[in-house]
Structure 1
Amino acid sequence: MGLSMELEFSDDELRPFESLEGKLLVASKSLDGSCFERSLIYICAHDDKGALGIIINNKIGNFYIKDYVGNAYVKPALKNKKVSIMFGGPIDQDRLIILSITKEQEKNFEYFPAVTIYTECKQFLQDYASGNNKDKFLLAKGFAAWEPNQLEQEIEENSWLIAPANLDILFSQKVKNKWSKMVESLGVKSFLQLVNYTGNA
């Protein structure tokens, strides 16, 4: 006697997982009033266990390189250099995180959009201050994180648009127009159009 079984799968179980690591999330109008309003988030990690990202366009202050490296040598040209600090996200806001990219990573970024992430920042900043490290970098406090399927659900609800990472936007210290420039690059000409765009996604 044969045994037959009917298996039912949810849409999430049938849909193949697609990692957004290396992509940018662009906040839609539905996130107005939250800490993610008009934010751009670089996705550092994304798998079936969840996602982690850094907001790259919410500046919360500046610092002088010399104030972060203790008694280490500072190249004269960098002694009065200010660097922006971003609000990286609502989790662990006292933690400094650096996103950095080497020259080799820059060459391959179009095909492999990877950056290096530092959670221990002092040595990196000392190397930068001495002139031994000339890599582009962005400094943030805190990060954003999502539980399994949480980010996917928010995308389905049109909270986020997905965009390819852009080096000029990712590492620019001029944060004021990052969000609007990314919106324009997606073909969305105004804030109202962005709402309509996400509503029809």
Structure 2
Amino acid sequence: MGNLRDATNEAGFLNGQFLLAMPGMEDSRFARSVIYICAHSENGAMGLIINRAQEMEFAEILVQLGVLDEQQVIMMPDRTRDFLVRNGGPVEVRRGFVLHSDDYLTDSTMPVAEELCLTGTVDILRAISGGRGPRKALMTLGYSGWASGQLENEIANNGWLTCQAPHDLLFDPNIDSTYDRLLAYMGIDPSRLATVAGHA
């Protein structure tokens, strides 16, 4: 896991927003993806894909990091043992991030939006496994990143749709339907989404 001090804390206009991949998304790694933007500034952007499951399970991660042994994992409540780990993106795929409610704070916790924070240290995994974690949380391995101006260009070229990030959809573990439910939340018929950008 590692600290997040390299990520910007400067609020950009996309901080706390969802990105939805448009039907014409050329990069298959992001097809039908929903990304929560944690940091956005003139230097670039960083976000987490929230609707793709990671093959590695939470219990495996706890054992691999030495947080718990296999016997302790067996004794965890089902709700904790089955905590969904998501595939946050193609960058640093072995690095973990926990996006969570602001009722859990450590020195390495970064605020990312109102009532939401990001922590990337093992301490939060210990807290979650011991029932002392934040009220709401999601974990990813890896993240999605953009260089300066890259994300803005992709949005201008009709690669992404942006919208508010309702917390009930953000933390919902039923991720297979997240993309379609978010379109419905926005009142958008998927069949009417244009696959190419229009230019005046």
TM-score for both structures, normalised by structure 2: 0.76
Q: Percent identity?
A: 27
Q: Which runs of 4+ in 1 moved over 6 A?
A: 72-75
- Residue 22 (str. 1) matches residue 21 (str. 2): no
In structure 2, distance between residues paired with 1:177 and 1:189 = 15
The answer on whether the counterparts of 1:161 and 1:198 sit within 8 Å (CA) in structure 2 is: no
In structure 1, distance between residues paired with 2:54 and 2:198 = 31
Q: Provide the aligned length of Structure 1 versus Structure 2.
A: 176
Q: Give 1:113 deviation, angstroms.
A: 3.6
Q: Which residue of 2 aligns with 1:186?
A: 186
Q: Give 1:115 deviation, angstroms.
A: 1.8
In structure 2, distance between residues paired with 1:75 and 1:116 = 29
| One-letter identity of the residue aligned with 1:100 | H
Structure 2 unaligned residues grouped into runs of 5+: 1-10, 105-112
Paired residues for 1:25-44 under 5 Å: 25-31=19-25, 34-44=28-38
Q: Which residue of 2 aligns with 1:118?
A: 119
Q: Which residue of 2 aligns with 1:70?
A: 68
RMSD across aligned positions (CA): 2.9
| One-letter identity of the residue aligned with 1:118 | T
Q: 1:114 to 1:185 in 2, by over 3 A?
A: same
TM-score for both structures, normalised by structure 1: 0.76
The answer on whether the counterparts of 1:65 and 1:125 sit within 8 Å (CA) in structure 2 is: no
Paired residues for 1:167-178 under 5 Å: 167-178=167-178
| One-letter identity of the residue aligned with 1:47 | S
In structure 2, distance between residues paired with 1:152 and 1:169 = 24
Q: Which residue of 1 aligns with 2:4?
A: none
Structure 1 residues 137-168: Cα deviation after superposition (integer angstroms, max 9, x where no partner):
11111111111111111111111111101101
Q: Give 1:73 deviation, angstroms.
A: 6.5
The answer on whether the counterparts of 2:101 and 2:134 sit within 8 Å (CA) in structure 1 is: no
Greater Rg over alpha carbons, structure? 1
In structure 2, distance between residues paired with 1:44 and 1:147 = 14
Structure 1 residues 162-195: Cα deviation after superposition (integer angstroms, max 9, x where no partner):
11011011111110100000111121123x2122
